[in-house]
A and B are shown apart, each in its own frame.
Chain A
Amino acid sequence: MSTQESDGGTARVIPNWESCIDCGACEVACQRTWDLPPESDRIQVVALEHGTENETNKPMQCYNCSEAPCIDVCPTNALRFRNDGTVRVAADECIGCHYCGVGCPFGAPQYPDAEVPEAEESSPMGAKSDGLMDKCTTCEPRQEQGLEPACSSECPTDALLFGTPDELSEKLQEDGVSTPFNEEAAGIVFGDDADEVMGD
């Protein structure tokens, strides 16, 4: 298991959709761990192929993209990379313009009206909200205690994988599954590490 101090690259949570049984445990774990308001979906089980007979539901959240579009479009630089390569929003700089919501390919930015606990302006763990942007923080405080993010920790089917690109690549190979990303999406999420994670 990686933590944010790992030097093998940025540690992320990515879904292994083939194992997901749409139980919603990841959503519950996230909201319970951080006492989030109900409308805050830092991880969200979304409908795929909605309205068709193939409709299914899978988890989506912030992947802390290496080529993060949200950072590029944020007018106030409220979104930025931390030293560990993860993306954070500074609550005291966000203006709630929703540009990141339009720029993110994965629907990660949230703008709950209610206040989000655990938000710290000086060392942002997400916005204080009231309409400001809020998103997954990869459970940074849990990682500091040597724990995995709550969602991947509590997923009953190991459908959420956590690790550096090296570790994710290993886990995916062990399970004999591919990432849920196509080439374009993998390039955005993993940057130069995309080929390593995607494999052949």
Chain B
Amino acid sequence: MPVEVTFELPYTEWGWKVGFYVAMIGIASGAYLMGYIADILSQKRNEPSHGQVAQYGYLAGILGMAIGPPVLLSHLATPFRALMLPMTMTNLGSWMALGTYLIAGFVLGAFLMFGWTAFGTERPHRRAVAADGGTDHGTARAATGDSTANGIRGVASRVGLLDLLDTLADKTRPSETVRLGIGAVFGVLAAGVLVYSAMAYGSGPTERVALWDPTFLLPVKILGGLAAGLTVAVGFAAIANRPVGRTIQNYSLAASGLLVATLVAVLAAITLLPEQLPAAEPAVENLLSTHATLFVGGAVVGGLVVPILLSVGAVVGQRRGALSPAAATGAYVAAAALVVVGKVALALAYLMAAEFAPLPLPM
């Protein structure tokens, strides 16, 4: 007589912290990659306005990494031991070890690229120097945006770090070609982190959790990370550049497209996965019943559908003159906030709804 052994749920092993961590590293790596694309476009088209998205994409990468990994460390029994990477993370066949190295490299890259684009008098994408020529400490500085400007330079100026950061950035920044080359190398690491944000769930030789089948999880996580990352970068850029210009509006439309692609990937996963892997059926049922508030309400509607409507609506409203600049900025920021909440909700729903495939045992 065959019997099925059912053990604890995956959520009891990992808890909310792993879900939160996976969501944050997905957003951070996606933001970096979209920021890097904007960085390239800015240079190729000689349009500094792209640079705003680049700069805030890199910043979102740093913030995501500042929040996510510490939460994961708090889940571990020995967080300080885990930090001794070269001595502890020695099994490169494990996605956790691989992901840890990818993250360590990526964090360095996000810091460098952000610092080089946001600080220094010779930073790329800076606004044109004022017609009067000015000086480094006079009119030109105001024109190029620092203490009088919104955004991260304004923040740095207010806390008294702007001069130090500008000096550091100017002294370390390589030529544009080399900088973008370095950015590409770190982009590969960011892409690795994005894949890891899926494989942190979807790895393991026994494929014990059918809901995390990589065939369906990878598109959801990769598209979701890129979409959320770009939406967050646009949200930051919208706060720093009021009223929001046409270039950032275009990025908002691109983010909407990625959010739509993510929505399609999620819908494909929940409709096709049970057909491909019958063992996943109970978990998909959990997503749509027990955890429907989190998955349907938080992740799909709150984290994808509403941000799509907000992003597209804000652009259309601005271009038709039907929306005030403040309202448009509010819509971009709200979309970014909802996308972050939705990404966390999606990761948590995928963790809480998951079940180990029962082990059929003959008696």
Q: Looking at the assembled complex, report how far the CB atom of B256 sits from the nearest CB atom of chain A, in whole angstroms.
A: 35
Contacts of A130 in B (CB 8 A): 77
Q: Tell yes or no: B206 within 8 A of A by CB.
A: yes
Smallest Cβ-Cβ distance to A56: which chain B residue: B3
| A76 engages B88 (CB within 8 Å) | yes
Smallest Cβ-Cβ distance to B8: which chain A residue: A107
Q: Tell yes or no: A50 within 8 A of B by CB.
A: yes
Q: Looking at the assembled complex, report how far the CB atom of A126 sits from the nearest CB atom of chain B, in whole angstroms.
A: 14
User: Do A180 and B362 contact each other (CB < 8 Å), given the known contacts A74-B91, A75-B91, A96-B77?
Assistant: yes
Q: Tell yes or no: B334 within 8 A of A by CB.
A: no
For the complex, give the distance between the alpha carbons of A72 and B361 in Å: 23
For the complex, give the distance between the alpha carbons of A178 and B89 in Å: 40
Instruction: Name the contact of A105 in the complex, choosing from B75, B95, B359 (C-beta under 8 A).
Output: B359
Q: Tell yes or no: A5 within 8 A of B by CB.
A: no
Q: How many residue pairs, one in A and one in B, have C-beta atoms under 8 Å apart?
A: 108
Instruction: Name the contact of A75 in the complex, choosing from B3, B7, B100, B363 (C-beta under 8 A).
Output: B100
Q: Tell yes or no: B132 within 8 A of A by CB.
A: no
| B5 engages A46 (CB within 8 Å) | yes
Contacts of A185 in B (CB 8 A): 359, 361
Contacts of B4 in A (CB 8 A): 48-49
| B78 engages A73 (CB within 8 Å) | no
Q: Indicate with 1 or 0, residue by residue over A102-144, a CB within 8 angstroms of chain B CB atoms.
A: 1101110001000000000000000000111000000000000
Instruction: Name the contact of A98 in the complex, choosing from B14, B82, B100 (C-beta under 8 A).
Output: B14
Contacts of B88 in A (CB 8 A): 75-76, 93, 95
Contacts of B363 in A (CB 8 A): 17-18, 180
Q: Looking at the assembled complex, report how far the CB atom of A23 sits from the nearest CB atom of chain B, in whole angstroms.
A: 18
Q: Tell yes or no: A94 within 8 A of B by CB.
A: yes
Instruction: Name the contact of A73 in the complex, choosing from B1, B79, B203, B360 (C-beta under 8 A).
Output: B203
Q: Tell yes or no: A145 within 8 A of B by CB.
A: no
Q: How many residues of A contact B (CB 8 A)?
A: 40
Chain A, interface SS category: loop
Q: Tell yes or no: A83 within 8 A of B by CB.
A: no
Smallest Cβ-Cβ distance to A46: which chain B residue: B5
For the complex, give the distance between the alpha carbons of A170 and B97 in Å: 42
Q: Among residues 202 to 241 in chain B, which have CB atoms less than 8 Å away from a CB atom of chain A?
A: 203-206, 208-209
Q: Among residues 320 to 363 in chain B, which have CB atoms less than 8 Å away from a CB atom of chain A?
A: 359-363
Residue from the set B100, B205, B208 with the largest chain A CB neighbour count within 10 Å = B205
For the complex, give the distance between the alpha carbons of A160 and B354 in Å: 32
Contacts of B97 in A (CB 8 A): 75-76
User: Do A95 and B77 contact each other (CB < 8 Å), given the known contacts A17-B363, A75-B91, A101-B13?
Assistant: yes
Contacts of A102 in B (CB 8 A): 10, 13-14, 204, 208-209
Q: Tell yes or no: A60 within 8 A of B by CB.
A: yes
Q: Tell yes or no: B246 within 8 A of A by CB.
A: no
| B94 engages A74 (CB within 8 Å) | yes
| A76 engages B77 (CB within 8 Å) | no
| B78 engages A94 (CB within 8 Å) | yes
Contacts of B360 in A (CB 8 A): 182
User: Do A106 and B91 contact each other (CB < 8 Å), given the known contacts A50-B6, A95-B76?
Assistant: no
Nearest 5 pairs between A and B by C-beta?
A96-B77, A131-B77, A75-B97, A75-B96, A107-B7
**What are 24 A-B contacts with C-beta separation under 8 Å?**
A18-B363, A46-B5, A46-B7, A48-B5, A50-B6, A72-B94, A72-B205, A73-B96, A73-B204, A74-B91, A74-B94, A75-B94, A76-B82, A76-B97, A95-B77, A95-B81, A97-B96, A98-B13, A131-B77, A132-B77, A180-B361, A180-B363, A182-B2, A185-B359
Interface residues in chain A, defined as those with a beta carbon under 8 Å from any beta carbon in chain B: 17-18, 46, 48-50, 54, 56, 60, 67, 69, 72-77, 93-99, 101-103, 105-107, 111, 130-132, 178, 180-182, 185, 188
